[in-house]
Chain A
């Protein structure tokens, strides 16, 4: 009753014009109201009414036609990661929608805000095995934060409002809205659009409990060997400044998960590197020596923790997270600080003492030196004539001064890129962390460029992953997108080959992969390119790539059988990390 009264009052105060529009037009008006700038999509039968309406909205909404729906969703992910806004995807029913699944799963596990609109067959045909009908809503349940099927045009405003609110609030995630064709075509009274700010069954973030903040602060103040490990939560919560203030006040060494990279500048004196299987030596080993471990916006992935029963057993654990289900999921916490870290971090900062942890910090320094001596120096200056992946990234840092957005695919080159890339600003590292989706980088780089048009976007991709989504070169060509593509070609599916080398007696089962002439392939898409294999030509080639007006593909032939180290072998503790 009350709801009705309030809305009547409201409409009496400022009458909204009522007009009859189609579901499709309403949808596009809503996207404009939600400040959507770019849509990544691909048309098809069941979404044609929306595309027909889009024809009249070309000026207001930029639609990027991709070459495959998987490309559209990865592009939307790249867009969301660099811009911090919701990525929007259009796809048709059936195969169009099922082609989104990989991207949805990727966005779900990496908490990327997306709103995906899929067309669906007419409502009266649902369940009849109609042409291009798939039960998309049910297929996507485990890989969406929320999904909904719209069968009447009048449902569009409220549902879309809820979709955008859910995608970006709390712990972000992908939302899929399936719209039947009749709902796209139907005319209905559109009384304007009101964004959603509340859903009664949904709490974006839990209530902050001050007593836990004080308990956490007490532990930090008593600690002599505190270690902060941070994840993408810092970036998603836009809490980079708050995070910096926190670690700087307490002089707390901080290490990033792969998705936490770039939340803190790489050259920050308290930044001790990356965690995990191919992370840095110091933070991995010292995780098992610290007395208080402070986890901020991260979820203790198995690639970060290694063997769980030997992970930080000596430490008291403080876990700051917005998602209650992450607390105690993998690692038992001593103090759980529920809430948005944008709010909890300043509260914690206020209660912690300014401290000098020089002795403890010097331990990280000495591990860093040891890692450089035994591992990194050889990577940067190989004794062989063959190029290493690391020296490419090292030179790239030098030329971009750490100002580029680095989009990496999945595999050895990803680990090398994430280990060695220097970042000076946040939202500069775009990679598929949780799902490990090969083929992610090329389309994600396209989206990343739309999300940060003024920045240089460099996609670092392996020869295997590139061949999974290389059709998106067509998207780059058609839209004149300016991205720099580096293919680190080792003629192998390198990461799997590395495991076969280390754990399967070098039985290289189906990991040698042949590639087309990548430069000629790019040329066929009218994209400039170059191939380089010699050390003395590398720097100039990278410089030419960066200076080039427009997209450029640089294929770098690298050493075929090089392994990525350090490495925490699967089933081992983080302190058993191998340097070679």
Chain B
């Protein structure tokens, strides 16, 4: 692993040692059990993960995890290095909320009759940018995407009208200053070129992406 990427100091004005929300982005091989390997790094240190999103990245066979938690930068740096140490982890980055564009999605289930009856509710939903994803006779499901505070606000507003169920997704985040994984990975391979790339046909089926 290339450790240098994790040593620069983040430019924010918080006093040292204070906690704030950080986003850890992990690129991993698509290996069974890798999430387990990563999450026990947090639980071993009794650190709670606020939310975790795991999904395939734009590169086949490589997964991208976004982990959100509140900690001091010092702790985050140590966690990042421990994650990067895992054999099946390609690369780890960490960012403050200012350095990323992020969204969380939420679904709201509300009784259809109330919406039909009360124009106010519909107006509210419009105001929050909610989109209808399903309408049935008994209930309607709305969707919003946005930041935590916005979804929290809508729940509060809908509650008096009989919110039946609510669910929120984990966070997805994109770096403001990135030029994509391809370039980063190429740089990574350039700095530490591999001697040989023909191996592990079972474990590295998609190696062509990284060995161009």
A141-B37 contact in complex given A158-B202, A197-B196, A207-B192, C-beta closer than 8 Å? yes
Q: Mark B70-94, 1 if CB is under 8 A from A, else 0.
A: 0000000110011011011110000
Closest A residue by C-beta to B201:
A158
Minimum distance in angstroms from A313 CB to a CB of chain B: 17
Minimum distance in angstroms from B81 CB to a CB of chain A: 4
Segment touching B, from A227-235, A257-265, A322-330: A322-330
Report if B33 contacts A (CB, 8 A): yes
Minimum distance in angstroms from A8 CB to a CB of chain B: 10
Report if B101 contacts A (CB, 8 A): no
Asked if B87 and A197 sit within 8 Å, CB to CB, the answer is no
- Chain A positions within 8 Å of B84 at CB level: 324-325
Minimum distance in angstroms from A321 CB to a CB of chain B: 10
Asked if B202 and A203 sit within 8 Å, CB to CB, the answer is no
Find B33's partner among A10, A137, A327 (CB 8 Å cutoff): A137
Minimum distance in angstroms from B125 CB to a CB of chain A: 44
A2-B81 contact in complex given A196-B199, A206-B2, C-beta closer than 8 Å? no
A206-B199 contact in complex given A2-B211, A198-B194, C-beta closer than 8 Å? no
- A-B pairs with beta carbons under 8 A, tally: 108
Most buried by A among B37, B84, B198: B198
A200-B207 contact in complex given A7-B198, A137-B33, A338-B3, C-beta closer than 8 Å? yes
Asked if B204 and A202 sit within 8 Å, CB to CB, the answer is no
Minimum distance in angstroms from A239 CB to a CB of chain B: 20
Q: Mark A195-227, 1 if CB is under 8 A from B, else 0.
A: 011111111001101000000000000000000
- Chain A positions within 8 Å of B6 at CB level: 324
Asked if A200 and B198 sit within 8 Å, CB to CB, the answer is no
- Chain A positions within 8 Å of B208 at CB level: 1-3
Asked if B36 and A201 sit within 8 Å, CB to CB, the answer is no
Q: How far is the CA of A194 from the CA of B197 in the complex (A)?
A: 12
Report if B210 contacts A (CB, 8 A): yes
Question: Restricting to B1-34, which residues have a CB under 8 Å from any CB of A?
Answer: 1-4, 6, 28-29, 32-33
Q: How far is the CA of A353 from the CA of B8 in the complex (A)?
A: 31
Q: How far is the CA of A137 from the CA of B88 in the complex (A)?
A: 15
Find A154's partner among B37, B90, B202, B210 (CB 8 Å cutoff): B202
- Chain A positions within 8 Å of B153 at CB level: none
A200-B87 contact in complex given A138-B36, A162-B200, A329-B78, C-beta closer than 8 Å? no
Question: Restricting to B171-212, which residues have a CB under 8 Å from any CB of A?
Answer: 191-192, 194-204, 207-208, 210-212
Asked if A142 and B200 sit within 8 Å, CB to CB, the answer is no
Asked if A198 and B87 sit within 8 Å, CB to CB, the answer is no
Find B207's partner among A3, A149, A197 (CB 8 Å cutoff): A3
Find A325's partner among B81, B88, B191 (CB 8 Å cutoff): B81
Q: How far is the CA of A155 from the CA of B40 in the complex (A)?
A: 27
Asked if A141 and B199 sit within 8 Å, CB to CB, the answer is no
Q: How far is the CA of A158 from the CA of B203 in the complex (A)?
A: 7
Find A159's partner among B1, B196, B203 (CB 8 Å cutoff): B203
Extra contacts, 6 of them, besides A2-B212, A203-B192 (Cβ < 8 A), are A3-B204, A197-B195, A198-B194, A201-B28, A203-B1, A207-B191
Could you write out 21 A-B pairs with CB less than 8 Å apart?
A1-B208, A2-B212, A3-B204, A141-B37, A145-B87, A158-B200, A196-B199, A197-B195, A200-B197, A200-B211, A201-B28, A201-B88, A201-B89, A202-B1, A202-B88, A203-B192, A207-B4, A207-B191, A325-B82, A328-B77, A329-B81
Residues on A facing B (Cβ under 8 Å): 1-3, 6-7, 10, 137-138, 141-142, 145-146, 149, 154-155, 158-159, 161-162, 166, 194, 196-203, 206-207, 209, 323-325, 327-329, 338
